[in-house]
Structures are given as structure tokens and as C-alpha cells.
Structure 1
Amino acid sequence: MTATRWTAPGGAWIVTPAVAGERFAKARASGATVTLVDLEDSVAPHDKDLARERAAGFFATADPAGPLSGVRMNALTTRAGLRDLIALAEYPHQPPLVLVPMVESARDIEVAAAALDTDGHTPQIWALIETPRAIEKAPSILAAPRLTGVLFGAADYAAVTGAARTWQALLHARSVLANSAAAAGIAAVDSPYFDLADTDGLRREAEQARALGFTGKAAVHPRQVPVINDAFQPTEAELAQARAIVAARGQTGASITSVHGQMVGAPFYAAAQALTERAGHQPT
């Protein structure tokens, strides 16, 4: 089995435009595990410089005891992305997490790390996978040594492929990312659910993502955060079963035993132990 390289944040991630400084406090208070300030899609081209300036203030005022803060930069294949790297490297308060969009090569991660890593700071670097080429190359991209995790970009992927933004239509891409992330020992976070009025649909998709192996899901509005957090929190029944498996293994020391009438072996024990540990880090 492959161990994760980082203690990866699960549950809800929320993205807020860097130009909308008045929303920063609300995003941080939403209950999300990760709060990203956005320099990319939510910022118009003529506002990019303003967004970089305001994003610097976002990290200067971040509470170390609050949610993990990060930035979604522009793609490295754009001038805006290159300017982002220069600006981020010069921030007096460095972003703990950097999400790189439109990643299609492990080289993108190497470039970001080379620009941002210093003797005193090595940010978490996450890849936003959102193109067919990236799905094809996912195993090599996700094996990049400096990569912490991967986030699926369903909207761009569906636009490029012509696929519908439904669970079934995007199941192959999600499955590839979940499998490649597990093989690389890193976390995978699912794409946002874009229908703000459909809470049931959000919960259903979040539960499906968790069942597939994703550790969290992005939110586009604070009202989605509690639904996502709840979906990624183990149920009492799941926790009780996991704890019983861990306890049985500890009591018997056997590689195969019976718990509640079910034969369980090493894979069951590993999954149960991971579930109980993860539950201790999930937002409530």
C-alpha cells in the first residue's frame, strides 16, 4: 500500500475571487477546510493586477488557527500565470497552498515548485486536472515528487470533450484521477457542483465522490460547505464498524477474523484504520 505524502485536507474547499475582498471573512467563516483566493476564472483580464494585490492581503490577514489558505493561480501557459508566479514568490506572507490550473505535465509542477520553494517555505502544490490530455497523462502527472494532491475541474473538462456535466458522463475521468491519486499516495478533491438550488443533487454527488475515493469536494458558495462536510464525514454506523474491526485486530492479532458476522482481513483492517484516523481530522 502507498502512504500519503501529506496530511491532506478533506471535506469542503471554497473558492472566492481575489478582487472581492469583502467576501474573504465570510469564506473563512464558512466551515470549509480550505479557503482558496482565486486569480483565475473569476477575475477579468483587466483586473488581474488588482487581484494579485488583494490576494497578498488575504494571506497577510490569515489566521494560523483557521482553515488552510491557498491561491488558485492562472495557468502556467499564460502570461497571467507567469506574472502570478513572480508576484506569489515576492509576497511577504507566502501562500501555504497553491493550486495550478490546466496542468498537463509533471513539468508544470516542477516549474511552480522551482519558483515558489525557498529554504524557509515549501507550499503545498495541487494540480487542477481539467483536460482530456491531462486525464491521459494522469499517472505521470500525479507522480510528480512535489505534488500534494489533485482537484478535478469538471466544467472545463466537459466543455473540451463535449460531455454532459453529469456524474455518469464524467465517471471515467473521475475514476482515472481517484486511481492515479491513490497509486501516487496523494489526495483527490472533486469538482464543484454548480446548481446552487439543488442541495439534494450536491449531497448525492458528494457521497458518490467519497465512495469513489475522493477526500473532499470544492464549493462555489458558503451554503454548500456544510452539505459537503457532512457527506465526507463517516456515518456513525461506518465508524462503529471500523472501530470494531480495529479492536478485533488488536485483540486477536490475527490477519483474518470475524466482525459482526463478516470475515475481514488485512485490506479491511487498513481501510478501517484509515477511516477512524480520517474521521478525527474531518470538520464537524
Structure 2
Amino acid sequence: MFASSWLFVPGDRPDRFGKACSSGAGAVILDLEDAVAPASKAEARAAVRKFLDLPRDASRPAIAVRMNPVSTLAGLHDLAMLVELGDRLDYLIVPKAEEAAELALIGKMLAPTIDHPSIIALIESGRGVAMASQLAVASPQMAALMFGAADYAADLGKSVARYRPDFARTTIVNAAAAGGIAALDSPWFDTKDASGLAEECAASMALGFHAKAAIHPSQIDEINRAFSVSDADRDLARRYIAASVEGVALVDGKMVDVAMLNWARRIA
């Protein structure tokens, strides 16, 4: 099951790693890229390595690492370290994703040590959006496409607070669906605007995203609430399945067709 909430934590703040893991987030993203100053990259890499070398607690959420772009020396160092970690890493987030060949190469490097889909391609440019369908199927290791709203806005010359990237979001969701992988939405950047976060989560869910990233623990409860399957929906799904044992059925006066049954099987 793909986690609903993904909490970013700066990779050079190991004092926050444990707190993030106990925040209720379904996954924690240890960030080696934008949250870390160039002079602190090596320090952050060492801190992440040390944390992931610790014995894994069964209650710990999934751990992802956002590396630096592989076109940079820091990114190459990150990738070498993460490949060595093997299955101690759950997900690797590749930023500035634009080239399927790049993801395919990373997938080949991870495959000998990580036996599950582990790559999340972070799409945050106009070219990345244009290439989304190719990125989604670049490697058997692809787990999700993620939208990076801030960098995408900058690429378009817009303010992230005053634009509507609906085309980018729907393109990413559709590409992920076509590739049979998950779609992860960008964080809501105003940590003091709880109502805005709730509206953003509802809109994101309606577009077809499976999960949403966060930049502060205070955002986790709302994201979990918005992206969790409700008891009512789960109950309805079970009724659809039970009624359809012998084919097409009626539930509450409505016909349950194949599409509705497929929905039910995914969430029951």
C-alpha cells in the first residue's frame, strides 16, 4: 500500500529524523537536495547513511531519500551511497526528472539490491511534464511520479502561490495511471493555512493523486484524513464485491458494473 503522507526532513538535521518518524507520516523523505546548503551536502549524506544503518524498528514508516541531480557531483556521491545501502532504503526520489534513460540507469543500479519498485521521479519542469508518460515506464523499479510545484512554477516564470498547474497535475496523474504506478502531489507550502491545506488535499484527491507530501508535521493529520479510504467507502466496496459474485448486480438500486467492481477490489 502506497503511503498517503510523505514528510520532508532536511538531511543535515538528524535531530529531526526520529521526530519525523513518529509524526504519523506514512513515509519520511530525508532530503539531500534543496533543503541542504552546498557546503553541508557531505555532512547530510553521512547523517542519512548513519540513520539508515541503524537496526530497523518495525514501527518505523517507509524511508525515502531525495538525492541531488545525477548531473551533479553531489548527486553521484548520493547515488553511490544509496546503492550501497540496498534494501535499507525504501524509496529513492530522483529530482529534476526529465530523461527516461537516466531513470533506467538508476533502476539498473538499484535492481541487484532492492527487489521492489523504489524510484520516485520528481517532475518539476515543463520538459519533465512533457516527458511524464515516458518517465513512468522508464524502469521496472518505478514506484511513483511526484509533482514538484515550486520548481515547476519557477520554470514557467510564475509564483507558486498565484498559479494553477492543473495541466501539469492531470498530466502526471494520467501518466502514472498509464504506467501502473502511484502519483504523489507536491506539498502545501503555507504551514499556517490549515483551511488552504484541506482545500488543496480535496482538489488533489479529486484529480487522482494517491498521496501528498508535507513540509511540516502539523500537516500530516489532514493529509492522512484526506487520502485515507473512509469506512463508508470500504463498506460499500465490500457490498459491491459480495453482490457481484455471480456477475452484474444491483446495490442500493444502482447497477454494479466491471469498473465499479474494480474500484471496490482496490480498496476493500
Tell me the TM-score range normalised by the shorter chain: over 0.9
Q: Does 1:266 align with 2:243?
A: no
Q: Does 1:190 align with 2:185?
A: yes
**Number of the residue aligned with 1:125:** 119
Among candidates 67, 73, 76, match of residue 82 of structure 1: 76
Work out the CA distance in 1 between the residues paired with 2:96 and 2:228: 29
CA-atom RMSD in angstroms: 1.9
CA deviation after TM superposition for structure 1 residue 93, in Å: 7.4
What is the 5 A alignment of 1:39-50?
39-50=32-43
CA deviation after TM superposition for structure 1 residue 16, in Å: 0.5
Partner amino acid, structure 2, of 1:47: S
Identity of aligned residues (%): 38
Work out the CA distance in 2 between the residues paired with 1:57 and 1:175: 38
**Number of the residue aligned with 1:279:** none
Partner amino acid, structure 2, of 1:18: G
Q: How many residues align?
A: 265
Among candidates 11, 18, 32, match of residue 25 of structure 1: 18
**Number of the residue aligned with 2:92:** 98
Question: Residues 204 and 89 from structure 1, CA distance in 2 versus in 1: closer, same or farther, beyond 3 angstroms?
Answer: same
Work out the CA distance in 2 between the residues paired with 1:65 and 1:25: 12
CA deviation after TM superposition for structure 1 residue 106, in Å: 1.1
User: Under a length normalisation based on structure 1, what TM-score does the superposition of the two structures give?
Assistant: 0.87
Q: What are structure 1's unaligned runs of at least 5 residues?
A: 1-6, 277-284
Name which of structure 1's ranges 202-211 and 23-32 shifts more when overlaid on structure 2: 202-211
Question: Residues 10 and 242 from structure 1, CA distance in 2 versus in 1: closer, same or farther, beyond 3 angstroms?
Answer: same
**Number of the residue aligned with 2:108:** 114
**Which secondary structure does the structure 1 equivalent of 2:46 belong to?**
helix
Q: Does 1:201 align with 2:193?
A: no
Using CA pairs below 8 Å that are at least 6 residues apart, which structure has the higher relative contact order? 1
Question: Residues 55 and 248 from structure 1, CA distance in 2 versus in 1: closer, same or farther, beyond 3 angstroms?
Answer: same
Work out the CA distance in 1 between the residues paired with 2:170 and 2:161: 14
**Which secondary structure does the structure 1 equivalent of 2:244 belong to?**
helix
Q: What are structure 2's unaligned runs of at least 5 residues?
A: none
The 8 Å contact of residues 191 and 216 in structure 2, kept in 1 or not, is answered as yes
The 8 Å contact of residues 38 and 71 in structure 1, kept in 2 or not, is answered as yes
Partner amino acid, structure 2, of 1:74: N
User: Under a length normalisation based on structure 2, what TM-score does the superposition of the two structures give?
Assistant: 0.92
